Amino acid sequence: MKQSHHANQNLENQGHIKMNPTSLKTKNGGVYSLVVQCLAVLLISLISAGEVYAQRTTTFFHTDGLGSVVAASDKNGKLLWRKSYMPYGAQTGDTSEPLSYTGKPHDESTGLTYFGARYYDPELRRFISTDPVGFMESNPMSFNRYAYVNNNPYKYVDPDGRVLETAWDALNIAIGVASFVSNVKDGNYGAAAVDAGGIIIDGLATAAPFIPGGASSAIKAGRYGDEVVDVAKGAGRFADEAKLAGHFEKHGAEFGAKNADEYLSIAQDVMKNGTKVQYAYKGETRTGFVQLMGTNKKGQSKFAFVGTNNQGQITTLHTKSGKDFWKTLNGNASDKTIYPAP
């Protein structure tokens, strides 16, 4: 008890709290000095924690369709910084923030991005070590153990440096979880059960690439009767090979596409994962698809834009930003709102 008294005296001398350990007694005359000490220490800790908490700042990170961190804002919505990426992840804006390409941490001193199983060099467009999974017969391009996402960074992402997945798979899991939470909150337990099934299937697709992803979207399409792009019937393709070749030559470099097939694949991916819009073109209303890619050198939002004709065939795929983008979408460059088409 002597030791406790000295501890209390020390706290008094430090000016933290005034206490009298003999003021609280049991029926047997015992003293709650140890309890009082604990309460005092707890109170001091809470005060200190409150001071630390008061110094905290809230930062919101904003991502693009691949999960790459492209901007940050404070709790009042003020933009703190912005950055953009080349097709394979090389940063062209602010590089001080470690969260970067596809949401992975980036080491500015080495120029490497950490994917979990191995490190990736966005300048070389290659991993610096071999894929621990090895060659997969279902994916002939995995023969190159250093390649990043089959050399198609707009269609695929790599969650952990081992197995690629489509950005579609990752997006479906995120959408499924959000829908599940919303339905549970609203008491729509039947719909929540359907969402849960879709999340599980898409999660398996992410872990095992031989299971097709996007199952939850198929479930939702059946539930709501959503319109699905039918690539096999001509929609979602260029009208002819000549137009595809011409647009690839003109715009392929904007997306890092190496050939016309890659260029077409990127366009189809924007149609699947982007936002469907309507815009005026030569006196008629056309359907288009837009997807945020990041920002351009001026700090303006940069979008992938797919235009189609009235048969649903692709007429173009190119990047748009600034006044040109908003004028194409809304006929007015000052209206910076994307209005999703029904």
Residue 157 lies in a domain: yes
Where a domain ends, among 126, 141, 163?
A: 163
The predicted pLDDT at position 144 comes to 87
Residues 83 and 139 in one domain: yes
The predicted pLDDT at position 277 comes to 94
Q: What is the 3-state secondary structure (H, E, C) of 30-47?
A: CECHHHHHHHHHHHHHHH
Model confidence over 109-153: pLDDT tens digits? 899 999 999 999 999 999 999 988 888 776 777 888 899 988 888
Looking at per-residue confidence, does 193 or 235 come out higher?
Answer: 235
Residue 79 lies in a domain: yes
Residues 186 and 117 in one domain: no
pTM above 0.85, yes or no: no
Q: What is the mean pLDDT of the chain?
A: 73
Is the model's pLDDT at 217 over the cut of 80? no
Model confidence over 83-112: pLDDT tens digits? 888 889 998 866 678 889 999 999 988 999
Among left, alpha and beta (phi > 0; psi -120 to 50; other), residue 225 is left
The predicted pLDDT at position 212 comes to 40
Model confidence over 304-315: pLDDT tens digits? 999 999 888 999
Is the model's pLDDT at 300 over the cut of 90? no
The answer to whether the beta carbons of residues 83 and 93 sit under 8 Å apart is yes
Count structural domains, the chain: 4
Residues 22 and 44 in one domain: yes
Residues 92 and 105 in one domain: yes
Residues 76 and 141 in one domain: yes
Phi and psi angles of residue 159, each rounded to the nearest 5 degrees, phi first = -70, -30
Residue 208 lies in a domain: yes
CA nearest neighbour of 167 among 101, 254, 238, 233: 101
CA nearest neighbour of 65 among 127, 128, 154, 193: 154
Residue 341 lies in a domain: no
The predicted pLDDT at position 208 comes to 41
**C-alpha to C-alpha distance for 23 and 235, rounded to whole angstroms:** 85
**C-alpha to C-alpha distance for 139 and 133, rounded to whole angstroms:** 12
Residues 104 and 142 in one domain: yes
* Residue range 282-296: mean pLDDT, rounded: 89
**C-alpha to C-alpha distance for 256 and 152, rounded to whole angstroms:** 8
Residue 264 lies in a domain: yes
* Residue range 252-259: mean pLDDT, rounded: 90
Residues 254 and 313 in one domain: yes
- Percent of the chain, pLDDT > 70? 62
Where a domain ends, among 126, 143, 163?
A: 163
**C-alpha to C-alpha distance for 275 and 269, rounded to whole angstroms:** 11
Residue 198 lies in a domain: yes
Domain housing 171:
167-224
Largest CA distance in the chain: 99
Residues 42 and 72 in one domain: no
The predicted pLDDT at position 214 comes to 42
User: Any residues with CB less than 8 A from the CB of 100 and at least 6 apart, and which?
Assistant: 68, 69, 83, 85, 89, 91, 106, 113
Neighbours of 126 (CB within 10 A): 16
- Can you tell me whether residue 206 is helix, strand or coil? helix
Phi and psi angles of residue 4, each rounded to the nearest 5 degrees, phi first = -65, -40
Where a domain ends, among 38, 54, 70?
A: 54
